Amino acid sequence: MSLAIPRETRIEIPVKGMDCADCVRHVQHAIAELPGVQDVEVFLTGEKAVVTLDPDRVDLPAIRKAVADVGYSVPETASDAAQAVEASAATFTRAVLGLFGLVFVAVLFIVVIGEWLGLFEAITDRLPWPFWLAVVLVGGYPVFRNVIRATLQRRVIAHTLMAVGVLAALLVGEWATAAVVVFLMRVGDFAERFTAERSRRAVRDLTAMAPQTARIEVDGEERSVPIREVRPGMIVIVRPGEKIPVDGEVVDGHATVNQASITGESMPVDVEHGARVFAATIAQLGSLRVRTTHVGADTTFGRVIRLVEEAEAHRADVQRVADRFSAMYLPVVALIALLTFLIRRDPLSSAAVLVVACSCSFALATPIAMLASIGAAARRGLLIKGGKYIEALDRADVLLIDKTGTLTPGRPQVTDVIALDGFAPDELLALAASAERYSEHPLAEAIRGEARSRGLTVQTPVSFEAVPGQGIRAQLPDRLVEVGNTRLLPAADGNGAAAALEAQGKTVLYVAVNDRLAGAVAAADTLRPEVPAAIRTLRAEGIRHIELLTGDNERVARALAGMLGVDFRANLLPEDKIAVVKEYQARGHRVIMIGDGVNDAPALAQADVGIAMGAAGADVAIEAAHVALMREDWSLVPDVVRIARRTMRVVRMNIAFTVVYNTIGLTLAALGILPPVLAAAAQSLPDLGILGNSSRLLRQK
């Protein structure tokens, strides 16, 4: 008897019509209930659902029907043409929205002033009740349809209460009131859709930067093709001023490339043969031939877009609390309306309670702010993977730092040249660089690089010998040169100047010429220049404890930590760094770990927030970290902490505003002070308030 192995497929489907967190829950619940669906995540900003399913038990038509049954839609296709039409309609849509807003303000002004002066009833009584009933049925049809669908599925939605309020107004003969309530309900729906669209803007701005075509080289001829037809290994031609359409390696040409779309850095970089380039960056000067390595969604830019779209899956704790409160809020409002009717015997007051309740504002208070920050940060080269990590950054009080590739570039540089016995420093450096010409050691590359930067002449050795663990020996045309440690050159042992350099954490290589000590060259993996200021800023932001974790020896670690005024632990293996993170977490601290995302990836994953430094093009770093800094710039570290803390302040303001506003509205409605007409107008305002407050995060400096 054979054992059946379940199949598993992961698909993405577009979903249209969602404009708040309640919509997301309804779509997610509808899809999750289908037999064969193993997991589903629905994203408001990306307007899509990611579904893991068994294709033998459920298919796309079944999912489409389930989504339609709860009032939303899955388009038949997501063609490029349809997307282009949607983009081209944006200007027209903004004009329509502006006109609609003016109409809304005019109607609201007439209703409010009319109600206040007692003229509203005098005006509305001149029109027969069938007119108002027609307005209610026609204008409220989309709302009533969704309410009926939800009721048949035993669900209560925000519109359920408002629909009951409209029905109550009709039952007591308030025809005009019911019509105006319906109109303002639709305005509220528009406000929610507008709010959701605004939150999607950051993601769409990113998506719009992706090139759609590429110029490929086939049999010596150039041909322009859609980006989906480009494959790894193909040669892509990039002209001056064009976007680079793929990730790849430059095989020919030279250009100045603006990489702001990836790194957020406005200063362009020069690239030539052998350099890596990224999709959506711009070749400002010069042309390139690029061998493709990644295309479309597999490029660094494509992964950034995907991670920003799916960031809302990592919800902050405060967002989960708001979602649970939102789910409990509707029954509470229904109970208040019932008590209002039982105590005051006034159906209009009960209707006003139902109408003024704005549950969506609770659901929107957190995600709109989170998504605005995540999108704005992505444009600056800060990739934050979700609100969960924004909240953790806001609460963090411990910072653990890897050394190589993080505090330092990971590339040793010459810091000192000490010449003895009549040699000039440049002469000594030129001899050392000539001797090290064929060495592959990082310190040899540092010596050669320093010689190049000084414009020194480097000779070609006649013979070369590497002495493992000691150094090198090279015969130049006119002399013998040795470069190494005291095991290779015992006569150098006890040199006072060199010992002082070693005490600073530098590595000293001694140089002998014709068996006579000629001097020494000191090198170090130097501290990034912006680090000290960044550390001071982080302390000012409330990071109380900062510690350096390194696999280097204690002497090097102590010197570097002393320069920064931080604690340190040396001689650590990757598993030791994980243990340090767990140690702080066990003591109740929220831990940020910063590394290069490669050998310290496990520690980044263990931390409350793992930050990968310089993650552009590094697949492991982007996937392992919770926050990826797309360029090697330590000033971004305090930036991301400030962004998180500002975002959480906005979230708290949104929640406080929503609670206070709804409490006042419900109280006034229950006391009969706020009639249904004004209640309907009032219920649409919190969404606009949350939008306005959260939009400040789109303009973070």
Residues with catalytic roles: 402
In the beta sheet, which residues pair with residue 522?
416, 508
CA dist 260 and 237 (Å) reads 21
Q: What distance in Å separates the CA atoms of residue 593 and residue 283, rounded to the nearest whole number? A: 35
Place of tokens 């290069």: 596
Instruction: Tell which phi-psi region holds residue 140, choosing left (phi > 0), alpha (psi between -120 and 50) or beta.
Output: alpha
Inter-CA distances, 249 with 218, 620, 639, Å: 18, 19, 31
Alpha carbon 137 to chain centroid, angstroms: 43
Tell me how far apart the alpha carbons of residues 177 and 120 are, in angstroms, rounded to a whole number: 9
Asked if 472 and 484 count as a contact pair (C-beta separation under 8 A), the reply is yes
3-state secondary structure 291-357: EEEECHHHCHHHHHHHHHHHHHHCCCHHHHHHHHHHHHHHHHHHHHHHHHHHHHCCHHHHHHHHHHC
Q: Which of 205, 213, 194 is nearest to 309 (CA)?
A: 205
Q: Nearest Cα to 606, choosing from 587, 583, 633?
A: 583
| Distance between CA atoms of residues 185 and 191, nearest Å | 10
Q: Cα–Cα distances in Å, from 137 out to 168, 182, 564, 569? A: 14, 9, 70, 72
- Residues written for the chain: 701
SS3 126: coil
How far is CA 389 from each of CA 89, 537, 552, rounded to the nearest angstrom?
35, 20, 30
- Check residue 6 and report its DSSP letter: P
Strand order of the sheet with strand 9-14?
A: 9-14, 48-53, 37-43
Taking the C-alpha atoms of residue 144 and residue 242, their distance in angstroms, rounded to an integer, is 51
Number of helices (H), then strands (E), in the chain: 26, 23
Q: Report angle CA 308, 311, 316 to the nearest 5 degrees.
A: 145
Q: What is the dihedral of CA 200, 201, 207, 211, to 10 degrees?
A: 160
Phi, psi torsion values for 594, nearest 5 degrees: -115, 130
